[in-house]
Amino acid sequence: GAGVSQSPSNKVTEKGKDVELRCDPISGHTALYWYRQSLGQGLEFLIYFQGNSAPDKSGLPSDRFSAERTGGSVSTLTIQRTQQEDSAVYLCASSLDGTGVGETQYFGPGTRLLVL
């Protein structure tokens, strides 16, 4: 498909476990974003990649959260020692241009994470 894909679509885990969420951006898109959306809330920015580097990690809520991107394509968001407050929908988006500044973003369907 030509859109942004994310996996898994749903993830249920126990408190204290680590989880990895994957994002496959649109081919050729150099900018990639991770957001978190809690029930009834807006999108909370987590991190932005330009190619493989992350010039803006300001939204990561704690050092339990990390992300990487390899080959200028696939990105993985890792949450260590998950807590119940981490339960949310994690959305990935990509955009075309090298600037990545406020361009139109194309979103994936999200990963619904539930921490028990």
In the complex, the residues that contact other proteins under the rule CB under 8 A are 4, 33, 35, 40-43, 45, 48, 56, 58, 91, 93, 101-102, 104-110
CB of 16 to other proteins, least distance (A): 28
Q: State the minimum distance, in angstroms, from the CB of residue 4 to other proteins.
A: 7
Nearer to other proteins, 19 or 47 (CB): 47
Burial class (CB in 10 A: 0-12, 13-18, 19+), 74: middle
